[in-house]
Amino acid sequence: MIGTLLGLVPRSEGDTTQTSQSARLAVFSGRVRVFGALQHYNYRLYWTGLLVSVIGWQVQNLALGWLVLRLTDSPFWLGMVAFASAVPTIALSLLGGVVADRVDKRRLLMLTQMSAATLATLLATLTATDVVGLLAILGIAVAAGIVVAFDQPARLALVPYLVSRGDLMNAIALTSAAWQVSRIIGPAIAGILVGLAGEALCFYITAVGFTVLALAFYSLKLDPTSKDVHTGGMWTDLAQGTRYVKDNPLFATLIITTLLNSVFGMSYFYMMPVFARDVLQVGSTGLGFLVGASGLGALLGTLVTASLGSFRRRGWLLLGGAAAFGIALVLFAASGSYALSLGLLGAAGLFNSLYMTTANTILQSRVPDVLRGRVMSIYSLTWSMMPLGGMVSGTIATFAGAPLAVGLGGAIVTCFALAVAVFSHHTREVS
């Protein structure tokens, strides 16, 4: 599904301009560290554009799932559209990491955002003129997957240039918070708009959001971000990044854990239209609130993580969050109550946010600058596998029902997290 589009740190550059507003924000942030990274002009500009963009992305994500279900009446095709976008992302993400280490990341991100806006506009126009079909959606999904492959590594690698080292964990948490806020607002907007005006308006809103973020990247006050990188050939650079992860037990474990979480855990999102229409019978508006509930929980989890600062037992925070996330999914799959399902999705979002933000922080704080794009491309590749999980979940749901598909995925996530806690002291004891 195009929902994979735009996935979403040791030197600070471009923060030479401090306005009085920034100074007041810095004083406030000193008391409430959850907002500390916003004292940096570049990060504040990026975060604002990101928030607008991902709200639009969430609007598109829900509307697209509803459109596919309306056109095909099949959970299988929900998964297949997701898979169509995943294939080029999986194939090209490592190349995207190499490119991110070689070129100016800001300019690359401007290009990917405008490409995403063009694809959203095309989808909106096809839908508005009633000529959209499954083949067109699949084609746009493939093109979107190509954009993601170059966008995600560059975006992850850019954040360290926007803040000081001391604000790194806070910046990562606030970046995640923007996504979680969008998961509350975006689906609620889309759920209402789909019922009132149809899916096309949702896609036009998405195009506007991508354009806003492109303008934010254009306005950043940064030197070229590729100037410190010394590289050989493309294949040599690629091998260097993968070898670094392979030789680092902690990195390897974190990336494998994230991969399983993406494939078997986060793929629950693709089954939400089925739960809303067929299991809980709450329609498109209810679908918006289901997705929004998980976003609210994730936002709370992100704010908790942002406030932890120098918390030392990050390994246990990471593994506990992953295990609890899986348990919440199992309970959600077994629930037949709409109210209970809202609460369980909120819990799932909270625990997954604890895990995701912690894992990202551990990686970002330890990877060398010259390898950042390549290592983070491998990390982002694990999230690109989420639509593959959507295809698996869609296939299982077709034959055995969506509750079994989601419950099975949650059980796998919990079992693996517990196994890592028992057998991997590198991960368990990381601080």
pLDDT digit string, tens, across residues 127-152: 999 999 999 999 999 999 999 889 98
Q: Let me know if residue 393 belongs to a domain.
A: yes
Place of tokens 């196994």: 419
pLDDT digit string, tens, across residues 296-324: 888 888 777 766 655 567 777 778 888 99
More confident call, 63 vs 299: 63
Q: Provide the pLDDT for residue 30.
A: 42
Q: Let me know if residue 407 belongs to a domain.
A: yes
Tally DSSP H helices, then E strands, for the chain.
Answer: 17, 0
Q: Provide the pLDDT for residue 17.
A: 34
Q: Let me know if residue 116 belongs to a domain.
A: yes
> How many C-beta atoms surround the C-beta of residue 422 within 10 A?
10
Q: What's 411's DSSP letter?
A: H
Q: Let me know if residue 227 belongs to a domain.
A: no
Sign of CA dihedral 67, 61, 392, 113: positive
Tokens found for residue 176: 């995640």
- Domain count within the chain: 1
| Cα–Cα distance, 252 to 172 (Å, whole number) | 20
Q: Let me know if residue 7 belongs to a domain.
A: no
Q: Provide the pLDDT for residue 13.
A: 33
Residues 6+ apart with CB under 8 A from 19: 41
Angle between the 105-128 and 199-219 helix axes, to the nearest 10 degrees?
A: 160
Q: Let me know if residue 10 belongs to a domain.
A: no
Q: Let me know if residue 143 belongs to a domain.
A: yes
Q: Provide the pLDDT for residue 207.
A: 96
Q: Let me know if residue 299 belongs to a domain.
A: yes
Q: Provide the pLDDT for residue 168.
A: 74
Q: What's 13's DSSP letter?
A: -
Q: Residue 297 is part of which domain span? A: 18-220+232-428
Domain containing residue 387: CATH number: 1.20.1250.20
